[in-house]
Structures are given as C-alpha cells and as structure tokens.
Amino acid sequence: MKKVTFLIAAHNEEKHIGTVLDNLKNLKKHFPGIEVIVGNDGSSDNTSKIVDKYKFVKHVHLNERKGKHAVINKIIKLAKGDIIIVHDADWIFRVNDPKDFKFFMD
C-alpha cells in the first residue's frame, strides 16, 4: 500500500486547524499509511499550541511569515509519502467511500 502525505501550511488558523487535524486523525485510523506535516507560517495566535496536541503530526515552525508556497517548499522535503496532497488549513478532506480511497492508495 502506498503512503500518502498531507502537507498543510497554516497561518493563524486556530479556528480551523483542530477540526482539520481531527478529520485526518480519523482517516489515519482506517489508513495508517497517512503522514501529516503542518508548516506553521509564523502564526501569532494559538495555532502552534493546537497542532502540538496532535502527536501523529510533524510540526515545522517558521518564525516569520514566508507565505504558503515557501512553507510547502520547505515541508515537502520531509514528506515520505508516495502520494503528496497539499491540504489547505481550513477545509476538510472527505472520503465518501473508504474502498475508493484504499484503491487510490494501492
């Protein structure tokens, strides 16, 4: 089975990031080959504290804001997945049928 890496660039996403990571945590229960990397783009809110609560997430801190493209370019170097998904910090990745996602990963 292929590994899938979700890359998330986050800047001041305290309102959304917990929901996004809960969703990916649930997906990971069914598909353990999922890796999640969050690049914190100089957030000044509680984004870092929230992300740090998720032990399955690789969390990369950038001290100053560089922009989404710079964050993705930095964290993609850490990705171990065969498939890379650039995931936004305020939307939910949906799998309507787990069999379809499994097919995607095979």
Nearest Cα neighbor of 15 from 55, 37, 53, 45 is 45
Cβ–Cβ < 8 Å for 64, 39: no
DSSP H or E run through 37: strand 34-41
Mean pLDDT on 23-44? 93
- Long-range contacts of range 82-86, CB-CB < 8 Å, 24 or more positions apart? 82/2, 82/3, 82/4, 83/2, 83/3, 83/4, 83/5, 84/4, 84/5, 84/7, 85/4, 85/5, 85/6, 85/7, 86/7
Q: What are phi and psi of 100, to 5 degrees?
A: -65, -40
**Per-residue pLDDT tens over the stretch 79-94:** 999 999 999 998 898 8
Q: Which of 29-33, 40-44, 79-83 has the lowest mean pLDDT?
A: 29-33
pLDDT at res. 33: 87
Please give the domain boundaries of the chain with CATH numbers for all domains.
Answer: 4-105 (3.90.550.10)
